[in-house]
Structure 1
């Protein structure tokens, strides 16, 4: 079982002076005694985070978009191998220095400028929090429909169930992440049970594995396939784009670099491909059985004619969704919001902010169709890819993995730049985001948008590195350079 990510117990003041505007217990470097996570813990972490409804829906959306099962598996595997690279690169600083993402990003953006990428990442996490809450709410609504069939097609039932599940999440945040710690050991098995239930149901309906996987590709030529493939690949990378930034929030607990490196290199691609295959198989079978792909597991469970099985499947989905939503979508943004004003915003307060923004983003629109869902992933990948590129370029190419931990918690330190902002990082971020997203609004540049994460990552990273070189005669220094 994984320990809670947030700090607990009595405060432990650092041995060096800190600025209270940049420090609280949740942002403090992890003490050596708390760095206990082994390779197994990171494998378990990725299996527990991958085995969730949104992963199922991610895989299902590829089938709904027209791919056959082989094309879908290949796209998912390739996307996760690609995102694993920035994931492992950014994870290094967490394991080496014990610092979370909002502190790590101060090295490249400055102590004040770091709030900009932190909030970009936090807003995306708020969207995921809302999506998970909506999925949980619709699962409750389906259970109500099973118990009281007369409630079918009553929109207010879904709205009430959604707000109820959202309120439950807020209650858990208020009580503390540890209040659902017992669920951490059961969330992944619950999702496996739910998925196998769907698999067996569709196996029976389709008449075997052969017919299940018989749904053909809808693409008649390479041009049509590639037109869908590239934005789909970007969406696969975008799915974990948030975690590729704030992975130090988890690797700060690693025993050593090897444990997080091996654990993640195995856990992420293997867990995603295995669990995604279930979503692919079931959705492919739904095309055969029902004549069209049903990409939502909640909707598919509602088609069960055995109320007890459907009810148990929805319960499993609900429990797992609650655990994943708190663990994956509250920890990161809570730290990010806390970084805005550490003296006033605690982990718990940051979690509440996350919840209310998750409502404001209107998650029901983001998951109203597989097209909207993939579009959401590509959209925000254009915001986070540039941040990842800047962080990697700064830590490995400019600083060669050398950081002054104490200075990250002080103003007017070597990371101050100009009034707390690194203008080079902000310029590189702006150019990268603009290039990645311009194709969304200018049809002739649509290809840039299809590869939004890649465009932003490489363009921002390159611009940042080249401009930082012009500010110092020695690119290997691990001190920041002030802009004139």
Structure 2
């Protein structure tokens, strides 16, 4: 592809992946989703539904439905990655402009910072739980939990400073460790409860459909919001796919099955905890501390720390570090971007997000889904309805191409994004419109997509974006 290598808008990470290097098969995508799904936050995603009053069938159904819904934009946005070999930061240039693309990229980066803080808090609580096993007198000190959190956060910062290569040898063990932990917890509560029937015997706490729907609707939005981040930057993975069918079938199987299976473990164990302890214990680290088997609990905590570190560095540092670096490459290196990620994650007070099931689902997941849903709506609308899946790849890397718009920014996309976010989140501040917030991702997705389609169709920029200005476009096989 001509001119891409010399473009100031490209580097080795952003350039299209040539067909010869697109080697991922359906198995790779199935494995990807199983490895990403087996983490503490997935467990808590499911266990929080039991804590909110659902029975196991309602909880499993909510998780499965939410993941089937988010699979749709996931597959739609994945298409461009597989077709053109381009990553998310490049793909998003088509609707937002080569400079305007930084705005949705930073929104996605800020959410990743929040997740970085959350994972750091989980790691800190795991260290604190280990201390409670081996040195109970130290663990009860008022500042011990906070010191454990800061210690794990600093450990993550050290890895970022030294480079992600320092943890690659551990990455292969993260998902298996979490699977083993889940299996041990399932077996343990099964033995304590006496049977699977007893484990799953906790009834629904809702006495009417209205009561159930009041929890189900925002919970479903939270399930969609959980993977709203990946629904945007999934081209970062599908750009390596051997074919469209490989990534689409791999994801269509891997995402819902992996989430349903691992979520079921969280649901079953939390449901059993209600039977065993009289209340739902939705935090697996707290539950492991109830094992009263120090060796098993200690090994489980070590596994959690390794898995949490892997997830944090791989999923919550690499992407935002690149996004921050892309703002000003001369001043912000990947290392500096990682430091910014860590500091913002700390500043976002992640302990509040995991303080209760309400804070986790209705506050964190639903809240940021209102930011990312509009971005996804604009991406899907632009690629499928306006461009009919045809992109001028050269122009994505040029300042004089079809996607430069006005000084590199498509103001119509920015306007649609801003309006979509306002509409999705207004219910958080205006009580009569609370229902809009409960459906935040859906409201943002459809409203921003519709506004963007209307603005582009009614403007001169719309005619340019549909492909009338495709000077020097390469044929598809020249990617």
Fold shared by both chains (TM-score > 0.5): yes
Equivalence for 1:3: none
Secondary structure in structure 2 of the residue aligned to 1:424 = helix
2:291 aligned counterpart, secondary structure: coil
1:477 maps to 2:473:
no
2:90 corresponding residue in structure 1: 103
Q: Distance in 2 between matches of 1:57 and 1:265?
A: 23
Q: Find the counterpart in structure 2 of residue 452 from structure 1.
A: 440
Q: Deviations over 1:324-364 (max 9, x none)?
A: 11121123212322321234434333222211211111111
Unaligned stretches of 5+ residues in structure 1: 1-12
- Range with bigger deviation, 271-280 or 193-202: 193-202
Aligned match of 1:390: 378
Cα deviation 1:48-92 (Å, max 9, x = unaligned): 000000000000110011100000000000000000010011111
What runs of 5+ residues in structure 2 fail to find an aligned partner? 471-479
1:236 paired with 2:219, answer no
Question: Which residue of 2 is the match for residue 176 of structure 1?
Answer: 163
> 1:273 aligned to 251, 255, 260, which one?
260
Q: 1:401 to 1:343 in 2, by over 3 A?
A: farther
Give 1:153's aligned residue: 140
Secondary structure of residue in 1 paired with 2:264: helix
Question: Equivalents in 2 of 1:329, 1:309: separation in Å?
Answer: 29
- Greater Cα offset, 247-256 or 382-391: 247-256
Per the alignment, residue 351 of structure 2 pairs with 364
- In structure 2, what is the Cα distance between the partners aligned to 1:466 and 1:475? 14
Instruction: Give the CA deviation at 1:137.
Output: 1.2
More divergent stretch after superposition (340-349 vs 242-251): 340-349
Contact 2:5 2:11 in 1 (8 A): no
Q: TM-score, normalised by structure 2?
A: 0.94
CA distance 1:342–1:241, change in 2 (3 Å) = same
SS of 1:478's partner is helix
Q: TM-score, normalised by structure 1?
A: 0.93
- What secondary structure does 1:294 align onto? coil
Deviation at 1:476, TM superposition (A): 8.3
Confirm or deny: 8 A CA contact 2:386 2:465 kept in the other structure. yes
Structure 1 residue 372: deviation in Å?
Answer: 0.4
CA RMSD of aligned residues (A): 1.8
Shift in Å, 1:366: 0.9
Question: Quick check: 225-234 or 161-170, which moved more?
Answer: 161-170
Q: Distance in 2 between matches of 1:262 and 1:480?
A: 34
1:33 deviates by 3.9
Would you identify which runs of 4 or more consecutive aligned residues in structure 1 move more than 6 Å?
Answer: none
Where do residues 273-292 of structure 1 align in structure 2 (5 Å cutoff)?
A: 273-292=260-279
Within the alignment, does 1:331 sit opposite 2:318 as a pair? yes
Alignment of 1:66-105 (within 5 A): 66-105=53-92
Q: Would you say the 8 A contact 2:25–2:246 is kept in 1?
A: yes
Give, in angstroms, the shift of residue 188 of structure 1. 1.3
Aligned counterpart, 1:293: 280
For residues 469 and 182 of structure 2, the distance between their equivalents in structure 1, rounded to whole angstroms, comes to 50
- Looking at structure 2, the residues matched to 349 and 270 of structure 1 have their Cα atoms a distance apart, in angstroms, of 37
Specify the SS of the correspondent of 1:304: coil
Q: CA contact under 8 A between 1:23 and 1:343: conserved in structure 2?
A: no
> Separation in 2 of the partners of 1:478 and 1:179?
45
